[in-house]
Amino acid sequence: MNTDDTKTPATTAPKFASIVPVVKTDEQWRAELTAEEYAVLRKAGTERPYTGEYWDTHTEGVYACRACGTELFTSNEKFDSHCGWPSFFAPLAEGTVKYIHDRTMGMDRVEVRCAACDSHLGHVFEGEGYNTPTDQRFCINSVSLSLRPTQAG
């Protein structure tokens, strides 16, 4: 994981991802996204804990970026962190997300963005003691995601 001015957390995600850049004007994003989606995805806002659509979902499938449709996480890496937002211990593949050192709001943390469209997804935290293969918690806003359930059969 490459970040600006921060160490690289470990990940078990595959080391490949073919990302097609998505570039749109601010006017296009405003026209395509709801006000809440725009505030989170394009302005790095956050939804209130325990209010998002996926914080306690256990449906099998793939979680894609709500802004551009790039596949980012799967239900196989989702876990119950009890923090009020969907939590994953790794992205679908390294390269699907990018990392930015975030020093806003008096905190020192790592922001997670969609590698294709640069939309804000949430943050990644390390060393919190969760029993996961990476000891990471990708704390992602539900409004940043769209779940594509696995089809049976």
Which active-site residues does the annotation give? Answer: 139
**Buried b / exposed e along 6-39 (16+ C-beta atoms within 10 A):** beebebebeeebebeebeeeeeebeeebeeebbb
First-to-last C-alpha distance (Å) of the chain: 35
55 near 88, Cβ under 8 Å?
no
